[in-house]
Amino acid sequence: MSGTREWLVQRLKDAHAMEEQAETMLNGQLNRLESYPELRERIRLHLDETKGHAARLGTCLERLGEDTSALKDAGGKLLAMAQSLSGVFAGDEVVKGSLASYTFEHMEIASYTILIATAESLGETEIARTCEQNLHEEEAMAEWLQNKLPATTEQFLARSASDSDNAKR
């Protein structure tokens, strides 16, 4: 039983670091998006949700008498900064950013699905409920991105024909 609890703690810490990474990544995108107001607004909204996800995960860890992992959080932020900087050099930054965001959302969905199963196996229903709330918001963002990928791509292609600098962001 203690092994399962240790896995729950480990996965909560990993998820917290994942949300810290997401926050840094979303901030990077938000600061550079200029020509895509609908995408910019949805990213801003999801950034607020992401901050809430991290806070809720911190509360789950406190409930278990644990703390977040500063090392994992820092590593996630560092990785996100590198990803963010790489987008600056892409000629199709908005498209690559949308692809990365959509992919990241699915990693988060899988992580929360695993976390929920782990929490439920320990009878930690409150932690499972918290993770379900985060999961639903991640699923909503993934669905929104999926629905907007064609339009974002079309907007990029139309803009790139006349103004490649504004098209990429």
Would you call 33 helix, strand, or coil by DSSP?
coil
> In terms of Cα–Cα distance, which of 71, 68, 79 is closest to 23?
79
Residues comprising the chain, all counted:
169
- pLDDT the model gives residue 153: 93
pLDDT (tens place) for every residue of the chain, 169 residues total = 457 899 999 999 999 999 999 999 999 888 888 889 999 999 999 999 999 999 999 999 999 999 886 655 555 555 545 555 555 545 678 898 899 999 999 999 999 999 999 999 999 999 999 999 999 999 999 999 999 999 999 998 988 887 655 544 5
Residues 6+ apart with CB under 8 A from 63: 126, 127
Helical pair 70-88 and 2-32, crossing angle rounded to 10 deg? 30
pTM: 0.86
